[in-house]
Amino acid sequence: MSTAVTEIPQESRVHYLNVSYGVKSWLLTVDHKRIALLYLVSITFMFLVGGVAAVLMRIHLIEPAGALVQPETYNKLFSAHGIIMVFFFLVPSIPATLGNFLVPLMIGAKDLAFPKLNLLSWYIYIVGALFTLYAVISGGVDTGWTFYTPYSSTYSHSAVIPVAIGVFITGFSSILTGLNFIVTIHKMRAPGLTWFRLPLFIWSIYATSVIFILGTPVLAITIFLLGVERLFHVGIFDPAVGGDPLLFQHLFWFYSHPAVYIMILPGMGVVSELIAAFSRKRIYGYTMVAYSSFAIAIISFLVWGHHMFVTGQSIYAGLIFSVLSFLVAIPSAIKVFNWTATLYKGSISYEAPMLYALGFIGLFTMGGLTGLFLAALATDVHLSGTYFIVAHFHYIMVGGAVMAYMGGLHYWWPKISGRMYPDMWARVAAVIIFVGFNLTFFPQFMLGYLGMPRRYAVYPPEFQVFNVMSSAGASILGIGYLIPLVYFIWSMRYGPIAPANPWGAKGLEWTVPSPPPTENFEETPVVTEEAYDYAPIPEGQHG
Amino acid sequence: MADLVAHGVAHRDEHGSAGAHSQNLRHHFDNMSQQFEAGNLGMWVFLATEVLFFGGLFASYTVYRALYLPGFEIGSHLLDVRFGAANTAVLIGSSLSMALAIRAAQTGRRNAQVFLLVLTMILGAAFLGIKFSFEWRNDYLEHLIPGVNFLYRPEWGANAPHVQLFFCFYFIMTSLHAIHMIIGIGLLSVLTWMAARGRFSPDYYTPLEVSGLYWHFVDIVWIFLFPLLYLIGGRYGIGGGH
């Protein structure tokens, strides 16, 4: 199909994007690269929907009495924002787009192990997303993204069932994606590509897949039990007939705390790639960074109780969950220190992806450290249920996961689209996002510390200054996200043609043309070197 | 899962008499053993997911059983252990015939494959028949189905809500298990059709192997459900007895 690729000019070369045309060739594709693009379009749409909900909330909170909507509508806005952003954007974001695109390319395989299953995952995601969007349009839910009983059962008067079905269905998309990655990484690696030669992105995707496989089914059964309770009017979580609402919280957080690491672990993998590529150095302590992904995945299953310090679980359970939660800081810190050590004496260049990676390190560190406030029993009693929590997890999920996702999207965009994005605009957007993000969420730490509870449509007037700052930051952040949306679309047609390896980076994905041919590699590559095997920097060039 | 099972179906009719290797090898695999191992590992990973899926239920059941032991004992007494025992025997028999069907593929006996697969399906259907038409029907007549026609009995006293909770879990667990059985029978009917057309050989029987893993898993779930629901504190079990 694509013989003598290098000699033929770019326009006439057959690659995965121009090998066939038409809606059908996309909707029935089993090419992991095309499926990655299907995901990219879908989750971008969901990101915009969730973002609109966030914008409406921030406009509403400019006035202490509420500027825009009724309190019921406000409840539905924050629920829609949380459900859509967590289950339909953040969880699939890096794994389903960059992971789908890159896992086979990085390990020298022609495709994922189960290509049809991969396409099925996308369709399952779409069905789940349609259910949820239908529910949001037809009345919405007011339970928050956590679906706590009895808000979602006895006292619910909103469309809990269709949303729950949507989340339940989408869970299977995650499970099948994780299954596909695990099998692919185990069985499809190119000759010579041993486990400790794998890019760290692959390690983090593998750890993420383990959480997909082991966590998501528990969320599925939890939502199933909730659905049974609603549909048959029995009391699994209803104390009136012997049920226990706390059981719902235990089951929910058994998935949903590991889910936080589903969101951040792939981001850590992306950042490892970016730091290595733009410092032109092997990641310092490669092995420890690889193992720390696994440590995070394993510990993540043992900390769910820290969401329940104030729910009346026993003090001993609280103590143990507190200690275990502190343990997560160790592998997380290993990663941060090792990235920083990689920068030391590196040949650093500040391309747009690198700006996102550096932003990630700073914001993730802040998110992680404020997490320790919440893992400590005494401070958590004061901070639980306040804006401090909101700020903390947005530093992890937006400042961490979304920054890494944006950085990865820029870094691999030449490979994905075959075109370069406008570099100046990309750097400007990265800075705008960083500034907008901090202005949005840093004031929320203050608000939470001062005692403003989350999920309230109104607040006392003394909190207005911080709320106005936050809303102003949100508008800057929104602009920061719109700029890349515009220039990515622009670059697909007008961007300069990208070479096979625009960054001079290491890794098998840069050895194939941009965009890659459908079968990725004409001949299965043989790997003879470590990951990130950058040439030593000549003495004179050290900074 | 469909993808695991469909391995090798893609190029079925292209070269009727070509060797099993070229015919069944999907383009993105290097060789047959890589493809076999991938399919096998895929099913094992899927079963790990299933373990956690049922694990959430088992954990919830265990918590409530520990909290409300008297109510759960009453509930357990109301189940008929004879049906449960019969079904256990039927299911273990079906696992045996499934394993023998794979053995028949490995030794290249086509008629034996078809016979054993049909036998597995019949035993699976027998399990469902006993479950639905005897056990659940009796439960319905005795007003034991929560959300449908559950009635508190005076002799249960304050335990009545907990008896209902027991039956909630009984029906959720057994119906989820039954759904898995029905999916398994669906898989088996496809496999039977493939076996009858001579699709499997000693070199290529991945779909049989991975579906067999699934079938045995569903069997094992029942092996846990049976003592948990029927025997512990049940009519003939420890801690039971009127």
Distance CA(A428)–CA(A422), nearest Å, equals 10
CA distance B161 to chain A (A): 5
pLDDT of B19 reads 41
Rounded to whole angstroms, the Cα distance separating B135 from B174 reads: 11
Class of domain B45-231: mainly alpha
Q: Which of A110, A234, A243 minimises the CB distance to B28?
A: A110
Residue B242 pLDDT exceeds 60: no
**Residue B135: both structure tokens together:** 């056990």
Residue A113 with chain B: CB contacts under 8 Å: 28, 38, 42
The total of other beta-carbon atoms located within 10 Å of residue A104's CB is 27
For residue B55, list chain A residues with Cβ-Cβ distance below 8 A.
Answer: 217-218
Judge whether A219 lies within some domain.
Answer: yes
Mutation to test the B interface, candidates A111, A183, A223, most B Cβ within 10 Å: A183
- Are the beta carbons of A179 and B53 separated by less than 8 Å? no
Q: For residue A459, what is the DSSP state?
A: -
Q: Evaluate whether residue A23 is within a structural domain.
A: no
Contacts of A233 in chain B (CB under 8 A): 147
Residue A517: left if φ>0, alpha if ψ -120 to 50, beta else—which one?
A: beta
Q: Which two tokens stand for residue A351?
A: 């391309």
State the Cα–Cα distance between residues A200 and A287, nearest whole angstrom.
Answer: 9
**Number of helices (H), then strands (E), in chain B:** 9, 0
CA distance linking residue A488 with residue A479, whole number of Å: 14
Block means of pLDDT (10 residues each) for chain A, length 543 residues?
A: 44 86 94 97 97 96 95 94 96 97 97 96 97 89 90 84 93 97 97 96 97 95 92 86 89 93 96 97 95 95 94 91 95 97 95 97 96 94 95 96 98 97 97 98 97 95 96 97 97 95 95 94 92 76 48
Interface of B to A at Cβ within 8 Å reads: 1-4, 6, 27-30, 34, 37-38, 41-42, 45-46, 48-50, 52-57, 59-60, 63-64, 67-68, 71, 146-148, 161-162, 164-165, 168, 172, 176
Contacts of residue A240 in chain B, CB cutoff 8 Å?
A: 161
The residue written with tokens 């090792």 in the block is A338
Residues A91-149: pLDDT tens digits?
Answer: 999 999 999 999 999 999 999 999 999 999 999 999 999 999 999 888 889 999 999 98
> Which tokens go with A347?
């040949």
Minimum Cα–Cα distance from A523: chain B residue: B30
Count Cα atoms within 13 angstroms, Cβ side, for A250: 15
Residues A49 and A84 sit within 8 Å (Cβ to Cβ):
yes
Say if the Cβ atoms of A225 and B42 lie within 8 Å: no
Radius of gyration in angstroms for the set of CA atoms belonging to chain A, rounded to a whole number: 23
Cα–Cα dist A404/A75, whole Å: 29
**Beta carbons within 10 angstroms of residue B141's beta carbon:** 10
Query: What residues form DSSP beta bridges with B201?
Result: B204
Record: contact A114-B52, CB cut-off 8 A: no
Residues spanned by the domain of A140: 28-536
CA distance A348 to A366: 23
Q: What is the pLDDT of residue B232?
A: 80
Residue B3 amino acid letter:
D
B155: part of which helix (H) or strand (E)?
A: none
Alpha carbons B44 and B23: distance in angstroms, whole number: 25
Sequence-distant (6+) residues with CB within 8 A of B159 are: B68, B70, B71, B74
Q: What is the pLDDT of residue B240?
A: 41
Q: Is the pLDDT of residue B13 over 70?
A: no
Q: Burial letters for A130-162: b for 16+ Cβ neighbours within 10 Å, e otherwise?
A: ebbbebbeeebbbbbbbbbbbbbbbebebbbbb
Cβ–Cβ below 8 Å for A247 and B48: no
> Can you read off the two tokens belonging to residue B97?
């015939």
What is the rounded CA–CA span in Å between residue A466 and residue A444?
7
Query: Which residues in chain A are closer than 8 Å to B165, comparing Cβ atoms?
Result: 235-236, 241-243
Amino acid present at B91: L
Is residue A26 within 8 Å of A34, Cβ to Cβ? yes
**How high is the pLDDT of residue A230?**
87
CATH number at residue A160: 1.20.210.10
Residue A260 lies in a domain: yes
Q: Which residue type sits at B191?
A: L
Largest CA distance in chain B: 72
Q: Does the beta-carbon distance from B50 to A217 stay under 8 Å?
A: yes
For chains A and B, what is the number of CB pairs under 8 angstroms?
A: 122
Nearest to B32 by CA among B43, B21, B41: B21
* Nearest by Cα to A132 from A84, A72, A75, A78: A84
Mutation site for A-interface testing, chosen from B11, B30, B41, B52 by largest number of A Cβ within 10 Å: B52
Distance of CA A36 to the CA centre of its chain: 15
* ipTM score assigned to the predicted complex: 0.91
Report how far Cα A427 is from the mean position of its chain's Cα atoms. Answer: 21
**Whether pLDDT at B26 is above 90:** no
- Inform me whether the pLDDT recorded for B239 exceeds 60: no
* Total number of domains constituting chain A: 1
CA of A111: how far to CAs of A20, A517, B42, in Å? 18, 11, 15
Q: Which helix (H) or strand (E) holds B234?
A: none
Query: A218 and B55: CB-CB below 8 Å?
Result: yes
Q: Is A42 left (phi over 0), alpha (psi -120 to 50) or beta?
A: alpha
Tell which residue, A440, A346, A452, has the closest CA to residue A402: A440
Taking the C-alpha atoms of residue B104 and residue B96, their distance in angstroms, rounded to an integer, is 12
- pLDDT, averaged across chain B: 87
DSSP character for A457?
Answer: S
Where do the domains of chain B lie?
Answer: 45-231
